[in-house]
Copies of this chain bind each other. A is one copy, B any other.
Amino acid sequence: MQPITVYWRPNVPNPAKVIITLEELGIPYIGKFVEHADLKQPAFEAINTNGRVPAIEDPNTGITLWESGAIVNYLIENYDTEHKISYITAPEKYHTLQWQHFQCTGQGPYWGQLAWFQLFHHEPLESAKKRYVDEAIRIVKVLDKALEGRDWLVGDKITYADLAFVSWGSSLPLFLSDREEWNIEDHLNFKRWNDSILGRASVKKALSLAKEEDVKG
């Protein structure tokens, strides 16, 4: 098998989702670092017209693909043939998709807005911060409840859905560090699950790729 090319940047959550999946499945890859200034330039837009990382090129199939969730689905369908981190049985297969979509549409965009208004927006907007603090904690509560008495979101093994949450999950304490609404000890199922995923070798590797250079796996 030829290595898959992954266009990536460190310190943003979505490329890490793809690298974690590649690591878990033992798929060879070459991670090509993309400068921020190059994302919206013609050369990279020819790969991803949306001008974002991650994107992949798979020389084994000839496909070019972007959107981290779709890339993960592609990798699972083509390369998780032993169902190490996925299911082929119903309803587990569809419940895994369901939690993946909750990560992509609920956690990712809303925790992203939380990070923006807490850390980066050029003026302090307390009511906007409050909106996203509350929504981020609501999402933690949904996960905490779903994980009551369970190790993983679906069935009895870790899946790509659990793994998808961790790159934002690793940053949440930073985003909420000044907020009295937040106490991780209020959400012990979430904490146990998040810590467990953070301890995996694939995750440690993906989240430690902080340098602005090409990487390999």
Beta-carbon contact of B102 and A73 below 8 Å: no
Name the segment of A118-126, A168-176, A178-186, A190-198 touching the other chain.
A118-126
A111 to chain B, nearest CB (A): 11
Residue of B nearest to A128 (CB): B128
Residue A106 at the chain B interface, CB threshold 8 Å: yes
Q: Which of A50-89 contact B (CB under 8 A)?
A: 50-51, 61-70, 73-74
Residue A127 at the chain B interface, CB threshold 8 Å: yes
Instruction: A105 to B104: give the CA distance in the assembly, Å.
Output: 6
Residue A159 at the chain B interface, CB threshold 8 Å: no
Name the segment of A1-9, A23-31, A90-98, A200-208 touching the other chain.
A90-98
Which chain A residues have a beta carbon within 8 Å of chain B's beta carbons? 49-51, 61-70, 73-74, 90-91, 94-95, 97-102, 104-106, 108-110, 113, 116-117, 121-123, 125, 127-128, 131, 142, 145-146
Pick 15 A–B contacts, CB within 8 A, sort by A. A51-B142, A61-B91, A65-B91, A65-B95, A67-B97, A67-B102, A68-B101, A70-B94, A70-B101, A104-B104, A105-B108, A105-B109, A109-B109, A113-B113, A117-B128
